């Protein structure tokens, strides 16, 4: 299978998380209140912002998945599985990569809305398996896109806290309402779908 990282169009864009691979969770996730919400099965969206003058924005979110980081990593970095739970993702393929697996260039094609044409772009993903993925746009229709996945094993070893922090500037006009929808609705949908995929709920992504 091709190893990739999720960068789901208007979903997949991010501010880099300033942590080393395998380190503790980000301070906002370590907050007892956030931990309680994650333990209850909630997808927690910590921050979201939309530039009032331009169609761009950012969001930070987290979810707890009852599986080890390696299992989550396998789903996040598999194009076939990504297609099943990332809203709007039409195409995903690896186009280049390092022999040692430390980075890969991945092409995505995303359809945000029937009102808009599909968007194609290529991003470079840098891997610190199985705890961290940093990705950033290198070509294509988007003006700017960067992000991070951070996977942290829970203290009891029975689950993984997945953090996803994203930023995007499409560089072209798009209804601000679609940006807001992507930030506030689609990111939680991606994390919910990822959890279902990894935990094989309702058979989703059961075939690797």
CA neighbor of 6 nearest in space, from 102, 100, 74: 74
Average pLDDT over residues 55-65: 82
The reported pLDDT for the residue numbered 197 is: 93
Question: Angle at CA 36, nearest 5°, toward 33 and 41?
Answer: 130
Placement of tokens 């779908």 in the chain: 193
Q: With cut-offs at 50, 70 and 90, classify the pLDDT of residue 208.
A: very low
CATH number where 41 lies = 3.30.530.20
Radius of gyration of the chain (CA): 16
Residue 4 falls inside a structural domain: no
Given a cut of 90, whether residue 107 has pLDDT beyond it is yes
Which residues constitute the domain of residue 173? 9-200
d(CA 15, CA 30): 19
- Does 82 fall in a domain? yes
What single-letter DSSP state applies at residue 16? P
Domains in the chain: how many in total? Answer: 1
Quick: pLDDT tens for 72-82. 999 999 999 99
Calculate the CA dihedral of residues 111, 108, 65, 20 and round it to 10 degrees: -130
Question: ∠ CA(112), CA(116), CA(120), 5° rounding?
Answer: 65
**Domain annotation covers residue 103:** yes
For residue 102, what is the DSSP state?
A: S
The answer to whether residue 34 is domain-embedded is yes
pLDDT at 11: 40
Residue 164 located in a structural domain: yes
For residue 208, being part of any structural domain is answered with no
- Any domain includes 2: no
Sequence-separated (6 or more) residues with CB below 8 Å from residue 196: 85, 202, 204, 205
Which pLDDT band holds residue 91 (cuts at 50, 70, 90)?
very high
Q: Does 155 score more than 70 pLDDT?
A: yes
- The pLDDT assigned to 141 comes to 83
More confident residue, 167 or 129: 129
Is pLDDT at 12 greater than 70 in this prediction?
A: no
| d(C-alpha 151, C-alpha 138), whole Å | 24
Task: Mean pLDDT check: name the lowest of 89-93, 119-123, 170-174.
Answer: 170-174
User: Over the stretch 168-188, which tens digit does the pLDDT of each residue have?
Assistant: 777 766 666 666 666 677 888
Mean pLDDT to the nearest integer, 124-145: 92
Query: What pLDDT is recorded for position 145?
Result: 82
Identify the weakest region by mean pLDDT among 35-39, 41-45, 144-148, 160-164: 144-148
Structural domain contains residue 3: no
């Amino acid at each position: 299978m091709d190893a990739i990282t999720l960068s789901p169009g208007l979903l997949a864009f991010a501010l880099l998380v300033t942590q080393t691979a395998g380190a503790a969770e980000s301070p906002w996730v370590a907050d007892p209140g956030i931990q309680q919400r994650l333990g209850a099965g909630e997808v927690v969206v910590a921050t979201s912002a939309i530039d009032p003058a331009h169609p761009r924005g950012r969001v930070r979110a987290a979810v707890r998945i009852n599986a080890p980081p390696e299992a989550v990593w396998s789903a996040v970095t598999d194009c076939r599985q990504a297609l099943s739970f990332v809203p709007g993702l039409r195409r995903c393929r690896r186009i280049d990569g390092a022999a040692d697996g430390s980075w890969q260039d991945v092409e995505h094609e995303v359809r945000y809305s029937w009102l808009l044409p599909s968007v194609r772009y290529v991003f470079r993903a840098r891997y610190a398996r199985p705890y961290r993925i940093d990705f950033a746009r290198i070509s294509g229709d988007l003006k700017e896109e960067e992000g991070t996945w951070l996977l942290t094993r829970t203290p009891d070893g029975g689950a993984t806290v997945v953090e996803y922090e994203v930023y995007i500037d499409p560089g072209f006009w798009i209804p601000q309402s679609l940006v807001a929808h992507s930030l506030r609705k689609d990111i939680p949908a991606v994390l919910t779908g990822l959890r279902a995929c990894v935990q094989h709920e309702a058979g989703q992504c059961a075939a690797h």
